């Protein structure tokens, strides 16, 4: 690594008077630098042994889950990101290192290219993210999800039941807790899976005047594409907007997904795919509701729309 850009950055670091951005709960930093004429963003990740969080008690299980998320992200950038180069925008990975449990992900800095994060967005921006997600999902729908390479990822998203036993145990006794494994099995039985982003919140997308770029692939993995859509909606739509705008935005997502599959000359039956994924919508919300109840039961995302979808899912599991 002697001639790497990261080693050059370490040599120059004392000269570049910048304050790094702290990552989630002290699990590293995001640092910016300029080497020559190019600007880079360097994500340096490492889980502290004594991670302190109001809603999380650090265990060996949770520690390994977090470490695996860094492995997954680097695996994605190393083996999958290039497949998307001409389809949807994501930062170019320049260097990837793992040194004594520290993960260094050196990326191009997209801010000098005109991309900025937004704290609130219009319908136009939401549709741009849905375009991005539809293209991302379509690219993996024709893959053989049983091959060994996908095993590195496992299931995507950060609230997957198998990876959240602590939160499940913390849930109060309820119909949702009793049905949690049935809901999980229902989602796993769906015929059509793809690689999902896994953490498709607004904060993981940046916009220029006409385009959107997606990043942060720690929770990528197999799943239902609507899991990404659901999580996006929880960060851009309030309860009233979910009631009035959700169906139209879902229809838009499916139209873009169909176009992307046609572009790929996919042999997948889109009608069958759409029907199965639409039928899973209530289960996806209920599955996320299950996680929030065990993680932070007072979370503002547990709104009337989520409760309504959970009620529909629970009725379905009783049949």
- Over 143-211, what HEC string results? CCCCCHHHHHCCECCCCCHHHCHHHHHHCCCCHHHHHHHHHHHHHHHCCCCEEECCCCCHHHEEECCCC
Distance (Å, whole) CA 198 – CA 196: 5
- For residue 29, which of 17, 41, 15 has the smallest C-alpha distance? 41
CB of 252 within 8 A of CB of 132? no
State residue 2's pLDDT score: 47
* Contact predicate 168/181, CB 8 Å: no
What the block records as the tokens of 203 is 């904060």
pLDDT (0 to 100) of residue 151: 76
pLDDT in tens, the chain (319 residues): 445 887 777 766 655 556 666 665 567 888 888 888 899 999 998 877 665 555 666 677 888 888 899 999 999 999 999 999 889 999 999 999 998 889 999 999 999 999 999 999 999 999 999 999 999 999 999 655 565 667 788 899 999 999 999 999 999 999 999 999 999 999 999 989 999 999 999 999 999 999 999 999 999 999 999 999 999 999 999 999 999 999 999 999 999 999 999 999 999 999 999 999 999 999 999 999 999 999 999 999 999 999 999 999 999 998 7
Q: What is the pLDDT of residue 20?
A: 61
- pLDDT for 28 equals 80
CA distance 309 to 146: 31
**C-beta atoms surrounding 95 within 10 Å:** 17
What structural domains and CATH numbers belong to the chain?
A: 1-108 (3.30.200.20), 115-319 (3.90.1200.10)
Neighbours of 60 (CB within 10 A): 7
Tell me the pTM.
Answer: 0.92
Instruction: Report DSSP letters for 66-107, one per residue.
Output: HHHHHHHHHHHHHHTGGGGTTTSB-PPEEEEEEETTEEEEEE
């Amino acid at each position: 690594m002697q001639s790497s850009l990261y080693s050059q950055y370490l040599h120059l670091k004392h000269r570049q008077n910048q304050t790094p951005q702290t990552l989630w709960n002290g699990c590293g930093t995001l640092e910016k630098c300029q080497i020559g004429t190019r600007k880079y963003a360097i994500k340096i990740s490492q889980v502290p042994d004594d991670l302190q969080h109001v809603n999380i008690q650090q265990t060996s299980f949770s520690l390994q889950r977090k470490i695996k998320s860094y492995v997954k992200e680097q695996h994605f950038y190393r083996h999958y990101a290039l497949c998307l180069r001409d389809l949807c925008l994501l930062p170019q990975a320049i260097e990837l290192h793992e040194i004594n449990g520290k993960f260094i992900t050196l990326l191009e800095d997209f801010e000098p290219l005109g991309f900025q994060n937004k704290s609130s967005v219009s319908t136009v921006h939401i549709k741009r993210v849905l375009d991005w997600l539809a293209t991302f999902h379509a690219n993996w729908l024709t893959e053989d999800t049983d091959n060994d390479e996908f095993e590195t990822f496992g299931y995507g998203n950060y609230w997957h039941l198998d990876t959240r036993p602590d939160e499940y145990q913390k849930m109060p006794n309820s119909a949702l807790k009793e049905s949690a494994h049935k809901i999980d099995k229902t989602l796993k039985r769906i015929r059509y899976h793809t690689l999902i982003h896994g953490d498709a919140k607004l904060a993981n997308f940046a916009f220029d005047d006409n385009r959107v770029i997606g990043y942060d692939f720690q929770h990528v993995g197999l799943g239902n594409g609507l899991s990404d859509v659901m999580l996006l909606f929880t960060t851009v739509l309030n309860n009233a907007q979910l009631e009035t705008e959700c169906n139209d935005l879902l229809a838009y997502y499916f139209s873009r997904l169909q176009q992307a599959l046609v572009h790929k000359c996919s042999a997948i039956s889109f009608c069958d795919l759409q029907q199965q994924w639409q039928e899973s919508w209530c289960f996806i919300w209920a599955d996320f509701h299950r996680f929030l109840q065990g993680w932070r039961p007072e979370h503002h995302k547990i709104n009337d729309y989520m409760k309504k979808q959970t009620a529909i899912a629970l009725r379905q599991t009783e049949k």
